[in-house]
Amino acid sequence: MKVFKFGGASVKDAEGVKNVARVLKNQGFEQCMLVVSAMGKTTNALEIVVENYFAKGDYKAQTTQIKQAHIDVAKGLFPEGHTIYGDIEEFFYDIESFLRRNKSPNYNFVYDQVVSCGEMISSRILSEYLVQEKLINTWLDARDYIKTDVGYREGEVDWKLTEENVKQLNTKYSFVTQGFIGSDANNFTVTLGREGSDYSAAIFAYCLDAEQMTIWKDVPGVMTGDPRKFDQVELLADISYEEAIEMAYYGASVIHPKTLQPLKQKSIPFFVKSFIEDDKPGTKVSEDINYPRKESYILKENQTFMTIETRDFSFIAEDHMSFIFGLLSKFKIKVSLIQNTAISLALCLEDKFKNSGRLNEILSEKFKTHLVPDVALFTVRNANMNDVEKFYENKNVLMEQLAVNTLQMVTK
C-alpha cells in the first residue's frame, strides 16, 4: 500500500481539489491511503475562532465566514442538492454546539476540538469529489485510528494501540483521511502539533508497512533553500533519512521534523513531489548515504535568544542544567541551538506557546537572564568552509556555532 499526503495549498479551492483528482488519475489511486490537510488558511481562521471565544468576542461571525468559504468551494465541485452541503452544515453546527456547551477553561483542549474541524471538512469534500470522479474510496475518521495521550496541541502517539487499529484496515482498498489529528482515551480530539499532517501520513505509512510515502507540495521537492528566501536554489534529487532529519530539525519547512523517524524505522522510501508538475521525479529520501552533498541554506525565524548566567560566578553545573531543562520541558519550549561556557548558557528557543516570558520570570530568580525576541537561526549545511565569510555580511550575529560542514548563527 502507498501513502499520499496533500497539504492545504493543494486543496485551497475548487480548482485545487480538481487538480488532486488529476494527479491521482496520473499516479494511480489503487491501494492508497490519502491524508489531507485543512483547506488553504482554514487552520489560521479557526485559531481566531478560539481566540475570540476566550476573549468573549463574536466567534460566530468568524465561523459563518469559514463555513461560507467551504460552501463556495463545494459549489465549484458538486451539483446543487449534493449531500456534501449537509455535511458542511453539520460540521459547523458541531463547532458552535461544542463552544456553546463547553465548560473547560483549558485553552489547548478547546483549541484541539475546534481547529481539528478543518481537516474533517476538507477530507470529506475531497473524498466525495473523488467518488464523483470514479476514484472510489472510503472516508476514515483518523481519530478512530491514531490514539494519543492528553497532550493537547502536541499529542504523543500511542504506537501500540494505533498500530493495532490501523492493521484492521483492508489494504486492498483506498482511503481518504485527515492529517494533524488523533484522539485520547476518552475520544476527545488531540492534535499532533502545527503542520502535523506530514507526521500523520508517516504514522499511517509505518502502521501499514507502506511500500512508499509521497508528500505533494507546491515546490519541486526538497531544495537547497526556500526559493522565497534564497536565490539560485536547486533541487536535491536524493538525500538520506539522516540528512532530511537534520534539515527538518534546523527548520526546513518542507518536511515536518517528526515525519522521518517512523519511516526510517521501517526503511520506507519517502518522496517529496510537486502537485503542479507531478510527472517530475522530485526528491527521494532513503537509506542511501551515497548522495551528492550540496550546500543548503535554512532560515528558522520567530525564535527567541536567551542567555543565562550564574549570579555568584559559579559554574553552570549539572543541577543547573537539570533545573533549566525541566522548565523548558514544562513550558513546551524547544531548544534549536545551545552553547555554554563555564558560567553561562546561551539558548536559541522555539516558543510556539508563548511561554518564554514565564520561563524568564522563574529563571531570573536564580540567574542573570536576558531575552531577545524575534531572532532567526540561519543554518548552512554542507558548507564550503573556504568561503564562509560571505554568510556574515550585513548580519548582527548573537551566537555562532561550527560543526562538521555545518555553520549556524543566531541573528537579529
Query: Tens digit of pLDDT for each residue in 303-320?
Result: 999 999 998 888 888 999
Indicate if the pLDDT at residue 333 is higher than 90.
yes
Q: pLDDT tens digit string along 349-408?
A: 999 999 999 999 999 999 999 999 999 999 999 988 888 888 898 899 999 999 888 999
Q: Describe the crossing of helices 117-132 and 83-101 by its angle, rounded to 10 degrees.
A: 170
Give the chain's mean pLDDT.
95
- The CATH number assigned to the domain holding 139 equals 3.40.1160.10
User: What's residue 389's pLDDT?
Assistant: 87
Beta strands 212-217 and 270-274, pairing class: parallel
Distance CA 307, CA 299 (A): 21
Q: Cell digits for 1?
A: 500500500
Average pLDDT over residues 200-212: 98
Q: pLDDT per residue over 144-155, tens digit each?
A: 999 999 999 999
The predicted-structure confidence for 98-134, as pLDDT tens digits, reads as follows: 999 999 999 999 999 999 999 999 999 999 999 999 9
pLDDT at 290 (0 to 100) = 83
Residues 334 and 201 reside in one and the same domain: no
CA distance linking residue 233 with residue 304, whole number of Å? 27
42-66: string of b/e by CB count within 10 Å (b at 16+)?
bbebbbebbebbeeeeebbebbeeb
Q: Any residues with CB less than 8 A from the CB of 285 and at least 6 apart, and which?
A: 222, 238, 239, 240, 241, 244, 260, 263, 269, 270, 271, 272
The residue written with cell numbers 499532533 in the block is: 192
Q: Is 235 a domain residue? A: no
Burial of 331: CB neighbours in 10 Å, binned 0-12, 13-18, 19+: middle
178 and 312 assigned to the same domain = no
Claim to verify: residue 323 and residue 185 sit in the same structural domain = no
Q: Do 199 and 308 reside in the same domain of the chain?
A: no
Let me know if residue 83 belongs to a domain. Answer: yes
* Per-residue pLDDT at 217 exceeds 80: yes
Of 167, 197, 217, the last residue of a domain is: 217
Single residue among 217, 249, 273 that ends a domain in this structure: 217
Q: Please, what is the angle between helix 107-115 and helix 117-132, to 10°? A: 10
181: helix, strand or coil: strand
**How far is Cα 144 from Cα 45, in angstroms, rounded to an integer?**
25
Q: Is residue 255 part of a domain?
A: no
> pLDDT value at position 409?
96
pLDDT digits (tens, 9 = 90+) for 157-205: 999 999 999 999 999 999 999 999 999 999 999 999 987 899 999 999 9
Structural domain including 119 reads: 2-217
Which of helix, strand or coil describes residue 223? strand
Kindly report, residue by residue over 51-99, the tens digit of the pLDDT: 999 999 999 999 999 999 999 999 999 999 999 999 999 999 999 999 9
| C-alpha cell at position 408 | 549556524
Are 50 and 148 members of one domain?
yes
The one-letter code for the residue type at 131 is V
Please tell me whether residues 211 and 329 are part of one structural domain. no
Closest CA to 253 of 226, 230, 235, 277: 226
> What's the rounded Cα separation, in Å, for the pair 202 and 364?
41
CB 200 within 8 A of CB 142: yes
The answer on 208 and 353 residing in a single domain is: no
**317 shares a domain with 206:** no
Picking from 195, 217, 239, the residue at the C-terminal end of a domain is: 217
Same domain, 213 and 302: no
List the beta strands (DSSP E) in 157-295: 175-178, 181-183, 189-191, 212-217, 238-240, 270-274, 283-286
268 falls within a domain: no
Residues 23 and 172 occupy one common structural domain: yes
**In a shared domain, residues 196 and 331:** no
User: 9, 215 in Cβ contact below 8 A?
Assistant: no
In this predicted structure, what is the pLDDT of residue 289? Answer: 81
Quick check: is 245 in a domain? Answer: no
How many structural domains compose the chain? 2
Is there a domain that residue 313 lies in? yes
**Residue 362 belongs to a domain with what CATH number?**
3.30.2130.10
- Is 34 inside any structural domain? yes
pLDDT(291) > 90: no
Average pLDDT (281-299) is: 91
Position 285 in a domain: no
Domain match, 303 and 209 both: no
Predicted pLDDT at 331: 95
How far apart are the C-alpha atoms of 96 and 102, rounded to whole Å? 10
Nearest alpha-carbon partner for 206 in 173, 159, 161:
159
